[in-house]
Amino acid sequence: MNIDEKLQPILDDVIRRNAGEREFHQAVEEVLSSLGRVIAKRPYYADNALIERICEPERQIIFRVPWVDDKGQVQINRGFRVQFNSALGPYKGGIRFHPSVNVGIIKFLGFEQTFKNALTGMPIGGGKGGSDFNPRGRSDGEIMRFCQSFMSELFRHLGEYTDVPAGDIGVGGREIGYMFGQYKRLTNRYEAGVLTGKALFHGGSRARKEATGYGATYFVQSMLQTKGDSFDGKKAVVSGSGNVAIYTMEKIIEFGGKIMACSDSNGYIVDENGIDLDLVKEIKEVRRARISEYARLKGTGSHYIEGGSIWDVPCDVAMPSATQNELTGKDAATLIKNGVIAVGEGANMPSTPDAVRQFLEANILFAPGKAANAGGVATSALEMQQNASRDFWSFEETEGRLAKIMRSIHDSCAETAEEYGAPGNYVLGANIAGFVRVAESMDALGVI
C-alpha cells in the first residue's frame, strides 16, 4: 500500500506506540493509504494533528474477569473495551468472545467501527470490546456466569448516552440477554438503550439478527446493478456459518443466487445442489455443532473438506463472512482465476492487504467490510431509536430502512471515489467518506 509522505510519520508513530498490535497497524495503514488524496485536496485535514487524534482511542479499559466453571474451578480471563471515538455519538460497537482476542484486535475493530458507523449516517461513535474467553464447549451456566462477571466491571463504563455494546463473534442473543440482566441488577434501571441485539421482549429490534448479512447482500446487489447485473443465477461462496454468513446466504438465495459452500474454523462444506440453509441453521443455531455435521446428515451431492481453503470453490460472488485475514493473496489469485466478479466483505477486514490489492488491480467489484457490513450496526442504531421512543417497528419497516441505509452507503462510497479520481474504488470511497465525516465533527468540537 502506498502512503503519502506526510502520512508516513503518523503510521510510524502508531506502530511505535502500539508495539506488536499487528491487526491495528494493518487497519490504520489501510485507512491512511487512502487519505493522501484527501489532504492534497483539503490540506487543512493535516492540521491540528486531526489524523493523529483519530488514530488514538479516547479511552482503553482492560480488566480482570474471574468466574467459576462447572467443576467449581476458578477461571481468569481478560476483558477489554476500547472507546475509540465519540465525535458523532455514544461509543457503539460489538463485544467479541474468542481466544484470539487481545488489545490489538479490539483496537483494530474499534478503529474500523468508527468509520463504519460514520458511513451509516447515524448518530453513533465507535467502540469495541471483548474477551479472550473461549465459549466453545462451555455449558449454558458457564456462559451465564462469565457474562455476569464481565458485566460486573463493564457496567460502570456504559450507558445509553455513553457507550452501547452489541454482539460480535461468540456473542449473540443469549449472551446479550445475560449481560443486560446483570446491567439491570447492578444499576436498578431498565435502560434498554444500553445494549443492542436484545430479544424482542427486552426492547430488541426486528431484523437486527438478519441485518449484517442482509445489508452486505444489498450492498453487493447495488454494486452489481452499476454493471447492469444482479444475483440472479449467480454462484456464491460465503465463508463462515455464524450470524453474518447465515443471513447473507438467506438474502442471496432470495435474490436468486445459489450458495455453493460455507465453512467454520475447522473446514468447509460444498453442496452441488446449493446449500440447504435450514439444515445449516439447525446445526449452528439450534445444536451449536460443527459444520462437518452437514455432509453427514445431507449425504448425496455434498461433501466436507477438513482444513483447506473455501476460496478454492469456483464462484461468481465471494462473501468472506468469518473473521479477519481469512482471505489471503493466494486465495484472491484463485478467485480471480476462477472468474469471480464481485467480493463483499461481511466480516471485519477478512481480506489481507495483498488480496485487496489484487481485487482492485483486476477491476473486481470489491466492497470493503466497513461499508458492506455496516447494516448490523445501522440496525443497532435503529434499535436505539426504537428504545428511545419506546416504539416497535414491523420487520418490513425495519428492513426497508436498512435497505435504504445500505443504498445510501453504497452511493456515498461510489460518489466519493468518483470525486477523488478513482471511480469504482469502494475502498478509497469508504475510507474517505467515513474519515471526512469523523474529521469534520471532531474539528467542530475543538481540540478533543
Site for ligand GLU, rule CB under 6 A: 92-94, 113, 166, 168, 196, 348, 376-377, 380
Contact 145, 399 (CB under 8 A): no
Sheet with 59-68, strands from edge to edge, namely 59-68, 74-85, 126-131, 91-97, 163-167
Nearest position to ligand GLU, beta carbon: 94
Q: Between helices 22-41 and 353-361, what is the axis angle to 10°? A: 40
Which 3 state secondary structure label does DSSP give 31?
helix
> Active-site residue among 128, 184, 235, 258?
128
Q: How far apart are CA 355 and CA 351, in angstroms?
A: 6
In whole angstroms, the minimum distance from the beta carbon of 358 to ligand GLU comes to 24
Q: How far apart are CA 79 and CA 86, in angstroms?
A: 21
Q: How far apart are CA 430 and CA 415, in angstroms?
A: 10
In whole angstroms, the minimum distance from the beta carbon of 6 to ligand GLU comes to 30
Nearer to ligand GLU, 222 or 379 (CB): 379
Nearer to ligand GLU, 18 or 348 (CB): 348
Known catalytic membership, residue 128: yes
Closest CA to 383 of 219, 211, 247: 211
Q: How far apart are CA 284 and CA 280, in angstroms?
A: 6
Number of neighbours of residue 388 by Cβ within 10 angstroms: 11
In whole angstroms, the minimum distance from the beta carbon of 127 to ligand GLU comes to 8
Nearer to ligand GLU, 166 or 313 (CB): 166
Nearer to ligand GLU, 132 or 168 (CB): 168
In whole angstroms, the minimum distance from the beta carbon of 320 to ligand GLU comes to 14
In whole angstroms, the minimum distance from the beta carbon of 276 to ligand GLU comes to 27
Nearer to ligand GLU, 89 or 257 (CB): 89
Q: How far apart are CA 117 and CA 122, in angstroms?
A: 7
Nearer to ligand GLU, 54 or 176 (CB): 176
Which H helix or E strand runs over 67?
strand 59-68
Q: How far apart are CA 83 and CA 73, in angstroms?
A: 32
In whole angstroms, the minimum distance from the beta carbon of 337 to ligand GLU comes to 30
Q: How far apart are CA 275 and CA 123, in angstroms?
A: 38
Catalytic residues: 128
